[in-house]
Structure 1
Amino acid sequence: MPRHGISGALVEFLVFGLKQAWACLFGGAMLGLIIATKFIWSDADNMLLSRYDFLFIAALVIQLGMLIFKLETIGEAKVILIFHVVGTIMEIFKTHAGSWVYPEHNLLRIGGVPLFSGFMYAAIGSYMARINRIFDIRLNRYPPFAATALLAVAIYVNFFAHHYLPDVRLALFAFTALLYWPTVMHYRVFRFRHRMPLLLAFLLVALFIWFAENIGTWSQAWLYPGQKAQWVPVSLSKLGSWYLLMIISVVLVTWVHPPRPLEDEAGADIRPRAGKVKVRKTS
């Protein structure tokens, strides 16, 4: 296959898309089910199982399947579960505060929150964990874990506190920029490593989550107050919310997979011998 020129760049681009789709396996499956159930449950009165309960059972089966087929490790599943719980707690609070609503009735719920909703957060955590391995991500000049953990806690607290106290998300954005500005992400697509500022990577991931949320609200899986009468695109302000919330997931993933600098790879002398790859550390 071509290595250079337009054809070589096209190969890298196509592999990048395939790897991204593979990393999004959990989230993509859930989004596909949300779209499909919008049409299948159009006459919900004749269905034996509610749409939300079906989505919960399906999400549980997908998660178990990913563990059985070793698409996720036990350590990653623990972190994903934590993010799932963190997201569900926030869902309970936010729906009670009227930030959004789940318009359909179902059995498996806590208050006004169907249990499947926590898997939307789990899907983000799954993507973050899988992309780290699939693209063999290395991070140069990554900030100390304690500082990132403090940022994650501040972000989470503000999601609750801003209902009663001034919203400090602008300060959180500034803290995020200050903390991650020096960090560069190096990732392998196919033949070559590429690099990108980590802040830009955060923005791109948040943008695609925002696209997915638009699909979710269009399918009426959940609705914001301004979408009850007629569907309209989700406000761009939610892009900032997803940007901040995603950082919590990133911090949790780095708890399981501590960031590795690119120098770790550069320090290895890799030489194929007799059909095997032998790694020798250089001094």
Structure 2
Amino acid sequence: MIQFTSLEARIDAAAHGVLARLPRGRLADGLIEFLVFGLKQAWACLFGGLMLAMILLTTFWWPDNGIDRYDVFFVAAVLIQLGMLVFRLETPSEAKVILIFHIVGTGMELFKTAAGSWIYPEDAFFRLGGVPLFSGFMYACVGSYMARILRIFDITFTRYPPVWMTVLLAVAIYVNFFSHHYIFDFRWVLFAVVIILYARSSMHYRVFRFRHRMPMLLAFLLVALFIWIAENIGTWSRAWIYPDQLDGWSLVSWSKLGSWYLLMLISVVLVTLVHPPKAYRADAETNPGRGHSRAD
């Protein structure tokens, strides 16, 4: 059963009223599914999209008023989060995921900036060491997206690995982000474990009229690629930069795509701790209807 907030339920009802009157046919159905898929993805990216838009806008224009850009990012991120809860754009359970991933991300930021992995070139009042506090919200954007697509697309799974195994994998991935500075980098071993655990797993998601299937390894890759593109935008705007970008912007290394693949997997596991993965049932698709319930 799809868990919509009250606002989303009203939007869904209005959208169904319009889309249900459109012509039917293979081409028309495909175009509608494509359109709705894009709109749902944009809705799931609401938090991250607002943050990225703010970063881009302030890159093109920022007044010389003595206020640090990073501090505005931090205050705006807090206000966006509060607004999403107040106006029921986000459920309390999603806020829990965001908070957890925010803490996980901030811990990594403190270590990685101290190790010189990346740099925040601007000043900030709201900061911990060399880490402006808005940075944790960039990880929270990923957690927000993961939590929101789970319910917006009514995602279910076939052959999802045991949750305890995925938790151990997530812990190993997180530890490796720190330990590889001192000992061997086990990321290729971790990639192999990811493949072993998820090779037979698929996700099933409903767009509008139809439910679709996608291998989970492919879904992980597509999300990681999207985050890598967003990171290129972020470094181009100098919200943060890598050491090789000090003298001018260059494309973020493709190796970071692998890092985001693993980090994104941590967010998936965190979401499953709040929303346990639901098993796909073919018999439930024989008469799925439009049923949804309110999650607020």
Shorter-chain TM-score range: over 0.9
CA distance in 1, matches of 2:288, 2:269: 35
- In structure 1, stretches of 5+ residues that fail to align are 279-283
Among candidates 262, 274, 288, match of residue 244 of structure 1: 262
Deviation at 1:39, TM superposition (A): 1.9
Deviation at 1:258, TM superposition (A): 0.9
Q: Identify the residue that residue 208 of structure 2 maps to in structure 1.
A: 190
Deviation at 1:80, TM superposition (A): 1.2
Does the alignment pair 1:19 with 2:36? no
CA distance in 2, matches of 1:271, 1:84: 36
Does the alignment pair 1:201 with 2:228? no
User: Which deviations, in whole Å up to 9, do the C-alpha atoms of 1:208-249 show, x marking residues without a partner?
Assistant: 000000000000000001111010010000000000000110
Q: Identify the residue that residue 30 of structure 1 maps to in structure 2.
A: 51
- 1:97–1:194 Cα change, 3 Å: same
- In structure 2, stretches of 5+ residues that fail to align are 1-21
Deviation at 1:4, TM superposition (A): 2.9
User: Which deviations, in whole Å up to 9, do the C-alpha atoms of 1:240-280 show, x marking residues without a partner?
Assistant: 000000011000101111111121x62487598xxx979xx
1:34 and 1:216 in contact (8 A); partners too: yes
- 1:133–1:54 Cα change, 3 Å: same
Q: Identify the residue that residue 266 of structure 1 maps to in structure 2.
A: 283
Deviation at 1:3, TM superposition (A): 3.5
Q: Identify the residue that residue 109 of structure 1 maps to in structure 2.
A: 127
User: Match of 2:248, SS?
Assistant: coil
User: Which deviations, in whole Å up to 9, do the C-alpha atoms of 1:87-134 show, x marking residues without a partner?
Assistant: 001001000000000000110000110000000000000000000011
> Residue type matched to 1:10 in 2?
L
CA distance in 1, matches of 2:288, 2:257: 45
Does the alignment pair 1:91 with 2:109? yes
Does the alignment pair 1:234 with 2:255? no
CA distance in 1, matches of 2:114, 2:284: 53
Map 1:1-283; keep pairs closer than 5 Å: 1-41=22-62, 46-263=64-281, 266-267=283-284, 270=287
Identity, in percent, stands at 66
User: Match of 1:99, SS?
Assistant: coil
Deviation at 1:5, TM superposition (A): 2.0
> Residue type matched to 1:14 in 2?
L
CA distance in 1, matches of 2:288, 2:270: 35
Deviation at 1:73, TM superposition (A): 1.8
CA distance in 1, matches of 2:98, 2:106: 12
> Residue type matched to 1:180 in 2?
Y
1:2 and 1:11 in contact (8 A); partners too: no
CA distance in 2, matches of 1:202, 1:135: 16
User: Match of 2:134, SS?
Assistant: helix
1:270 and 1:277 in contact (8 A); partners too: no
TM value normalised by structure 2: 0.88
User: Which deviations, in whole Å up to 9, do the C-alpha atoms of 1:1-58 show, x marking residues without a partner?
Assistant: 23432222111111111110000000000000000111222x5xx2232100000000
Larger RCO (alpha carbons 8 Å, 6+ apart) = 2
> CA RMSD of the aligned region, Å?
1.7
